[in-house]
Amino acid sequence: MLYIIVIIVIVYVFYFISKSREKSKTIPLEKNKIPTHWHNLLLENILFYKKLTTDEQKIFCAKMVTFL
């Protein structure tokens, strides 16, 4: 019986350690910056990017940097 409890505790510890590592890998969207020439290229070549508001453009760029 004691072995089962010890195994369950070990599994929980590994689970919470892995969850904390996943959170530390993500970068907040506000910290993702793109070079200004990328912004100009997006404005010139991507039609829907022109239609986005300034805030939406920032979010799009941050997500794009995260993806890349």
pTM: 0.52
Q: Domain count of the chain?
A: 1
The answer, yes or no, to whether residue 58 has pLDDT greater than 70, is: yes
Q: How much is the average pLDDT of 1-26?
A: 78
Contact in structure between 22 and 59 (CB atoms under 8 Å): no
- The domain in which residue 38 lies consists of 2-67
Specify whether the CB–CB gap between 61 and 34 falls below 8 A.
yes
Q: How far is the CA of 64 from the CAs of 5, 8, 28, in angstroms?
A: 45, 40, 13
Q: What is the pLDDT of residue 24?
A: 52
Query: Greater confidence, 27 or 51?
Result: 51
Task: With cut-offs at 50, 70 and 90, classify the pLDDT of residue 53.
Answer: very high
Calculate Rg over the CA atoms of the chain: 21
